Amino acid sequence: MNQYDVIIIGGGITGVGTARDCALRGLKVLLLARGDLTAGATGRNHGLLHSGARYAVTDRDSAAECIRENKILRRIAAHCVEPTGGLFITLPEDDLSYQDNFIKCCIDAGIKAEAIDPKEALKMEPSVNPALIGAVKVPDASVDPFRLATANALDAKLHGAVILTYHEVVSFIKDKNWIVGVQARDTRTGKTEKYYAPLTVNAAGIWGQNIAGMAGCQIKMLPAKGSLLIFGHRVNNMVINRCRKPANADILVPGDVVCVIGTTSDKVPMEECDDIRVTGDEVQLLLKEGCLLSPSLAHTRILRAYAGVRPLVASDDDPTGRKTSRGIVLLDHDRRDGIPGFISITGGKLTSYRLMGEMATDLVCDKLGRRSRCRTAELPLPGSEKELFDSAKGLRIAEKAAIGRQGTMVSKMDFSHKSEILCECEHVTRAEIAYAAKYLDVHNMMDLRRRTRVGMGTCQGSFCMKKVAAALARELGCPERTEEFIREYIEERWKGMAPVCWGESLCEAEYMRKLYADKKE
Amino acid sequence: MKFDVIIIGGGLAGCTAGVALQEAGLRCAIVAEGLSLHECPREKFIELGGTIFPGDRVTGGHIVGRKVKWVETRNLDGTLLEADNFILATGKFFSRGLISNMNEIYEPVFGCDVKYDKNPAKWVSQSFNDSQPFEKFGVITDAVGQVSIQGNTVENLYAAGEILCGERDIVSSALDVAAQIVGR
């Protein structure tokens, strides 16, 4: 009982990507996530599938890695990727001579980069700053990190993996200095349980530092907070970048019906990583720089602000965290620290998650003496097995939306009985909620939001949260928790709204308070 | 067009004041964006012979000396609405009685003096159920309910309901203002 081949710690994209790879190679996998899947940096970034162009000048290896993975993900995760293309624009205040070297470096790294006439760029992307004096087209794309992680977790489960969310590792079980298992606490029930495996993989992102410490070795992470703003409209169709040395707030990424400007980069203490909030200064900076990429952002409602912490592995004391290599770090703690049975996979980025999983799984298989080839670059993720949009003709918008989010898994949804739309902004039906509750490890409204986009639209849940909470509670068999679901959910929405509460957002906030605030009487 | 009182905003405050004023024999008109019309007092207001300009919005007013002479609306095509007294009952942010941007908060029709925290970071509390500072922002009125513009009281312009700063009851603030106007 509770015996596995490998235990993976971390419910981010690296953890689920590694779990999928291990499961596909026939290993008996347990994944433990402290909270929900994608609750850390995976759910708090741009949603940018890098072409690698951003790193071409400063970090050729990362750039080459990005373009290879970019091409793979377009294939295996088609339902998570929108092939928008990207522009790197030069503004009058930038040095146009940067562009030539940029293109040369891109091509050198295998990235198709092509200078285009600024007028042409304006035609391709009408929202771009018309003052631009140079433009380069690159194969950037938009990726839904929630969807991508969900599909990886689902495929891992379909291949026998066990995924336990809300399970926090509290200690390692050692036999002499061998790590032979972990003790994890179910944070919802408080119960502690032991799980055994000859190998444990630390894929806990920034929190991997604490996990390593618990195991008795040291990884020095350099937590770099990145703040972003999400707008209520999609002003751009292509990813817009500044063609200059990477700096603050110089990428605007479209995604679904919204767009996201980011990011900032500031060193934060490890202790703050669990509850980071966006400051007023960051909002100002993001808006100012964002308007230089696309001036119409000045008149677009900001839905919310959020921040993530990049899992950078410290290599020097650079306070911006930008000089640190974005490269993948795979640590064999047996060799490095004399702790057999324990490895760490960290660093890297969303775009390279699959490769991180492959590298970690190669080492796992090597350690376990298993010979098995990695197939994650070939096998499509559940949802991306085939293109469904052709057969979607005649379907209702809500069903098409569900296909967009869940791909071929829509076949598991009961549209004939549960067709009513509960979240109108994102067209989420009761059928999709029921599906998520049954198959996607959903325990509360935030989990559901990450799986289905419920409440992510312009109303931020104001109109739908009661209906959705009631439906979810019913599907989970706990109708008495409806009120609790609503309270938790509002508090979480408020956190993102508070830093940008003016204009339309303040109107929305006032309305939300009128509907849901606890009355004093 | 001339009335005794023009009420800008047809929510609970505007309609309540309208009913009280019609009952006191004054001729009132309410200019209200359609959806905000408050059902129950509205019926009563119409029954008492009040005039409603539904789905319309006051776009600006003309002030001479310390008095509002007339207001103009989006739909009346240049026709001016004159009155002896005016009541501003346009509500807070959601109903656009107050407008905010990342630096300031203002009252859009007359530019009435508004009480609010000059630091936008302090408009909202961190937790949803905490008391929210922005809900107490609003138009400043004197003891009789008259508003001011750049510190100068406007003698025939009153404010009632949610647009007021502080924590005033909607209905009683509307009745107070109506009583002031009737008593003049």
* Cα–Cα dist A250/A254, whole Å: 13
The values of phi and psi at residue A189, to 5°, are -110, -20
The values of phi and psi at residue B51, to 5°, are -105, 140
Q: Which residues, in sequence order, are CB contacts of A376 under 8 Å at separation 6+?
A: A17, A20, A21, A24, A76, A354, A357, A358
* Angle at A210 (CA atoms; ends A205, A213), nearest 5 degrees: 125
What band does B133 get if pLDDT is binned at 50, 70 and 90? very high
Q: Which residues, in sequence order, are CB contacts of A213 under 8 Å at separation 6+?
A: none
In the numeric block, which tokens belong to residue B24?
Answer: 């006191």
A490 with B120: Cβ contact below 8 A: no
Residue A467 touches partner B, C-beta closer than 8 Å? no
Please give the pLDDT value at position A316: 45
Place of tokens 């499509």: A380
In three-state secondary structure terms, B145 is coil
CA A433 to mean position of chain CA atoms: 20
- By DSSP bridging, strand B28-32 and strand B2-8 are parallel
* Cα–Cα dist A178/A318, whole Å: 35
Angstroms from A301 CA to nearest CA on chain B:
11
B93 with A494: Cβ contact below 8 A: no
Q: Which residues of A420-442 are buried (b: 16+ CB within 10 A; e: fewer)?
A: ebbbebbbbbbbbbbbbbebbbb
The values of phi and psi at residue A242, to 5°, are -90, 135
Please give the pLDDT value at position A318: 46
What distance, in Å, lies between the first and last C-alpha atoms of chain A? 53
Considering only CB atoms, which chain B residues are within 8 Å of A465?
A: none
Q: Are A250 and A289 in contact (CB under 8 A)?
A: yes
Q: Which residues, in sequence order, are CB contacts of A137 under 8 Å at separation 6+?
A: A85, A86, A87, A113, A114, A116, A121, A124
Residue A390 touches partner B, C-beta closer than 8 Å? no
* Cα–Cα dist B120/A501, whole Å: 8
Residue A495 touches partner B, C-beta closer than 8 Å? yes
Q: Are A159 and A145 in contact (CB under 8 A)?
A: no
In three-state secondary structure terms, A52 is coil
Closest partner residue to A501 among B96, B124, B127, by Cβ? B124
Considering only CB atoms, which chain B residues are within 8 Å of A510?
A: 92-94, 134-135
Angstroms from B127 CA to nearest CA on chain A:
6
B133 DSSP assignment? G
Please give the pLDDT value at position A362: 98
| pLDDT by position in tens, chain A (length 521) | 799 999 999 999 999 999 999 999 999 999 999 999 999 999 999 999 999 999 999 999 999 999 999 999 999 999 899 999 999 999 999 999 999 999 999 999 999 999 999 999 999 999 999 999 999 999 999 999 999 999 999 999 999 999 999 999 999 999 999 999 999 999 999 999 999 999 999 999 999 999 999 999 999 888 999 999 999 999 999 999 999 998 899 999 999 889 999 999 998 999 899 889 899 899 999 999 999 999 999 999 999 999 999 888 876 444 454 555 558 999 999 999 999 999 999 999 999 999 999 999 999 999 999 999 999 999 999 888 876 655 656 677 888 888 878 888 888 999 888 999 999 989 999 999 999 999 999 999 999 999 999 998 888 898 999 999 999 999 999 999 999 999 999 999 999 999 999 999 999 999 999 999 986 54
Considering only CB atoms, which chain B residues are within 8 Å of A506?
A: 93, 100, 123-124, 134
Closest partner residue to A511 among B94, B101, B128, by Cβ? B94
Neighbours of B142 (CB within 10 A): 10
- By DSSP bridging, strand A162-164 and strand A199-202 are unpaired
> Mean pLDDT over residues B116-132, rounded?
94
Residue B33 touches partner A, C-beta closer than 8 Å? no
The values of phi and psi at residue A130, to 5°, are -65, -10
* Cα–Cα dist A49/A241, whole Å: 13
Closest partner residue to A506 among B93, B125, B129, by Cβ? B93
Closest CA relative to residue A138, chosen from A195, A245, A56, A219: A56
A510 with B100: Cβ contact below 8 A: no
What distance, in Å, lies between the first and last C-alpha atoms of chain B? 22
The values of phi and psi at residue A99, to 5°, are -60, -45
Angstroms from A33 CA to nearest CA on chain B:
26
Considering only CB atoms, which chain B residues are within 8 Å of A490?
A: 128
B93 with A498: Cβ contact below 8 A: no
Q: Average pLDDT, whole number, for chain B?
A: 93
Q: Are B53 and B1 in contact (CB under 8 A)?
A: no
> Mean pLDDT over residues B44-65, rounded?
93
Considering only CB atoms, which chain B residues are within 8 Å of A507?
A: 93-94, 96
ipTM, 2 dp: 0.94
Interface of B with A in 102-131 (CB under 8 A): 102, 120-121, 123-129
* Cα–Cα dist A364/A68, whole Å: 23
Please give the pLDDT value at position A278: 92
In the numeric block, which tokens belong to residue B49?
Answer: 């012979």
A518 with B129: Cβ contact below 8 A: yes
Please give the pLDDT value at position A460: 87
Could you please report the per-residue DSSP string of A69-129?
HHHHHHHHTTTTEE---EEEEE-TTS-TTHHHHHHHHHHHTT---EEE-HHHHHHH-TTS-
Q: Are A82 and A141 in contact (CB under 8 A)?
A: yes
Please give the pLDDT value at position A319: 46
B141 DSSP assignment? B
* Cα–Cα dist A333/A341, whole Å: 8
What are residue B148's DSSP bridge partners?
B153
Angstroms from A308 CA to nearest CA on chain B:
18
Closest partner residue to A507 among B94, B120, B124, by Cβ? B94
A407 CB burial (10 A radius; 0-12, 13-18, 19+): buried
B101 with A503: Cβ contact below 8 A: yes
Beta strands in A269-379 (DSSP E): 302-310, 328-332, 342-347
Considering only CB atoms, which chain B residues are within 8 Å of A511?
A: 94
Considering only CB atoms, which chain A residues are within 8 Å of B99?
A: 503
Q: Which residues, in sequence order, are CB contacts of B69 under 8 Å at separation 6+?
A: B61, B62, B63, B82
Please give the pLDDT value at position B40: 77
Considering only CB atoms, which chain A residues are within 8 Å of B134?
A: 501, 506, 509-510
* Cα–Cα dist B8/B28, whole Å: 11
Angstroms from B65 CA to nearest CA on chain A:
32
DSSP H stretches of helix in B8-84 = 12-23, 39-47
Closest CA relative to residue A143, chosen from A194, A75, A200: A75
Residue B133 touches partner A, C-beta closer than 8 Å? no
What are residue A202's DSSP bridge partners?
A9, A344
Q: Are A92 and A134 in contact (CB under 8 A)?
A: no
